[in-house]
């Protein structure tokens, strides 16, 4: 068993599952989406992105692209949250929370695509 591949798969799947946990719940209810969970999703996605650097195959390039998309959307979600709470002072209104969850759902889509590609790559791997 290749430890590098285990760690790689672990972080890709953890990124997806944490993101799913953040997205689940009423879209516009801040009580269903915790800031620390969003923070954990961002950190794990960034780690997964770093692990994808250095891969020189075409599927590796697509893995990196999906990770960068997820990172961008999650950072945008965190920025919307920070601006709403700390800069404009409007707080987490239902429309702002819906925007944050929508951005996170977009990142979840990229994470799901990455996991699907990982599964396809694993199935096609020949020893």
The structural domains of the chain, with segments of one domain joined by +, span 3-124
Structure tokens at 60: 């590796």
Any idea which residue has 């672990």 for tokens? 10
pTM of the model: 0.92
Residues 78 and 38 sit within 8 Å (Cβ to Cβ) = yes
DSSP designation for 32: G
Q: Give the pLDDT of residue 121.
A: 87
Q: Give the pLDDT of residue 127.
A: 61
What string of pLDDT tens digits covers the 127 residues of the chain? 789 889 999 999 999 999 999 999 999 899 999 999 999 999 999 999 999 887 778 888 999 999 999 999 999 999 999 999 999 989 999 999 999 999 999 999 999 999 999 999 888 876 6
Structure tokens at 86: 């700390």
Any idea which residue has 């950190």 for tokens? 43
CA quadruple 88, 92, 95, 100: dihedral sign: positive
The whole-angstrom separation of Cα 110 and Cα 80 is 20
Q: Which residues contact 14 (CB under 8 A, 6 or more apart)?
A: 44, 48
Residues 77 and 38 sit within 8 Å (Cβ to Cβ) = yes
């Amino acid at each position: 068993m290749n430890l590098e591949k285990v760690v790689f798969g672990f972080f890709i799947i953890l990124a997806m599952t944490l993101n799913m946990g953040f997205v689940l719940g009423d879209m516009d209810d801040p009580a269903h989406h915790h800031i620390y969970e969003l923070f954990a999703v961002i950190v794990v996605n960034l780690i997964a992105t770093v692990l994808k650097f250095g891969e020189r195959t075409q599927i590796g390039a697509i893995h990196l692209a999906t990770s960068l998309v997820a990172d961008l959307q999650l950072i945008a979600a965190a920025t919307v949250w920070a601006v709403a709470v700390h800069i404009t002072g409007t707080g987490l209104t239902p429309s702002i929370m819906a925007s944050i969850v929508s951005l996170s759902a977009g990142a979840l889509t990229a994470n799901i695509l990455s996991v699907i590609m990982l599964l396809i790559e694993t199935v096609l791997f020949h020893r």
